[in-house]
Chain A
Amino acid sequence: MAVIKLSESKINFIKNVCKEHGNKAGEVINVLHKVQGEYGYLPAEIQELVAKELGIPVSRVYGIVSFYSFFTMTPKGEHPISVCLGTACYVRGAEKVLDELKRQLGIGVGEVTPDGKFSLNCLRCVGACGLAPVIEVGEKVYGRMTPDRVKDVLAEYK
C-alpha cells in the first residue's frame, strides 16, 4: 500500500480544487495552476494526490509538470527572482545581470539560497521590453537593470 502523506489543510485544499474542476482529467493543468498558486511548488505528494483525485496516473501528472516550465517541484525562496532572458533583454545585457545575480547570491538558476531567502530563475519575456533588461523580485519588476544595480536591489530584501 502506497501512502501519500500530506497535512489536512493541504489535502482539503487540493481535493476542493479538483472538485471545483469537476474531477476531470482534462482539467489537470488548471488544477496544477491553482495548487502551485497556493503552495508555490508541486512536490511529489501533491502531484500524487492530484492524480488520485482526477483519476489519472501520477506519471501523466509528472509528465505535465516536467514539461511546462511554469511548474516547479522545488520550493521557491522567500523572494523569488526571475531574470527575463527575452531577446530584447538579452541584447541589452540581461546575461551580465544574471551572472552578477548568480555571483552575489552564490546559487545557480533553479536554486534557492541556503537561508531560503532568494531563489533564482529565468523566464522568457515578461512583456516589459521597453524597460529591458528586466528582473522580477516577487511581484515587483525592476527595469533597466545593470550588474551594478544588483547589489542595491538585493539590499532591499535583506
Chain B
Amino acid sequence: MAKVKSLAELKAMREKLSNNLDIREKSNDPDSLVQIKVAMATCGIAAGAKQVMEHMMEKADELKLSIVFTQTGCMGYCHAEPTIEVKCPGKDPIVFGHVDNTRADEILTKYVMNNEMVEGVIPVNYETIG
C-alpha cells in the first residue's frame, strides 16, 4: 500500500472506497449478496459471538448463500449479546439479539432465504452522526 500523500488523495480514496463498498454490495448479484455484521467486542465475544460467526459462515457455505461477514465493535446492546446486524439488499438493516447457533440457523434459513421474521429483533435505539 502506497502512502496517502495529501488530503485530496485521502478524499479521493474515501470516494473510491465507499463506491467500492457500494459496488460490492449492489453490482453483479444484487439479489443474493447479504451483509452480516457481528458485534465483536469483549462482551460479544464472551457471550459467544466468535463461535456464532464461525457457525454462520459454515452454515452459509452449506446453504450456498453468498454472504459478506464482517466483525464490528459494540452496538451497545450488551443485554442481548451476541448481537448481529443483517442487511439484506434493498432493506433496512435489522439487529438480532441473543443469537446462538440455533437462532443463527433460523436467521439464515428463514429471514435471509425466505424473508420470514424471526424472534429476537432489537430495534435500533439511537441516532448516529455519520
Chain A residues near B (Cβ < 8 Å): 126-131, 134, 141, 143
Main secondary structure on A side of the interface with B? loop
Residue of A nearest to B43 (CB): A128
A131-B81 in contact (CB<8A):
yes
25 residue pairs A–B, Cβ–Cβ below 8 Å: A126-B42, A126-B46, A127-B42, A127-B43, A128-B43, A128-B46, A128-B47, A128-B78, A130-B43, A130-B47, A130-B77, A130-B78, A130-B79, A130-B80, A130-B81, A131-B43, A131-B46, A131-B47, A131-B78, A131-B81, A134-B46, A141-B45, A141-B46, A141-B47, A143-B46
Number of interface residues of B (CB under 8 A): 10
Residues of B close to A143: CB separation below 8 A: 46-47
Residues of A close to B81: CB separation below 8 A: 130-131
Chain B residues near A (Cβ < 8 Å): 42-43, 45-47, 77-81
Residue of A nearest to B81 (CB): A130
B78-A129 in contact (CB<8A):
yes
In the bound complex, CA of A108 to CA of B91 (Å): 55
In the bound complex, CA of A62 to CA of B64 (Å): 58
Best-surrounded residue of B46, B78, B79 (most CB of chain A within 10 A): B46
Best-surrounded residue of A126, A128, A130, A143 (most CB of chain B within 10 A): A130
Residues of B close to A141: CB separation below 8 A: 45-47
Residues of B close to A127: CB separation below 8 A: 42-43
Residues of B close to A134: CB separation below 8 A: 46
- B62 CB, min distance to chain A CBs, angstroms: 27
- A149 CB, min distance to chain B CBs, angstroms: 15
In the bound complex, CA of A127 to CA of B60 (Å): 31
- A-B pairs with the 4 shortest C-beta distances? A130-B78, A141-B46, A128-B43, A128-B46
Residues of B close to A128: CB separation below 8 A: 42-43, 46-47, 78
In the bound complex, CA of A46 to CA of B80 (Å): 44
What 12 additional pairs, Cβ within 8 angstroms, besides A128-B46, A130-B80?
A126-B42, A127-B42, A127-B43, A128-B43, A128-B47, A129-B43, A129-B78, A130-B77, A130-B79, A130-B81, A131-B43, A143-B47
Residue of A nearest to B42 (CB): A127
Residue of B nearest to A136 (CB): B46
- A153 CB, min distance to chain B CBs, angstroms: 14
Residues of A close to B77: CB separation below 8 A: 130
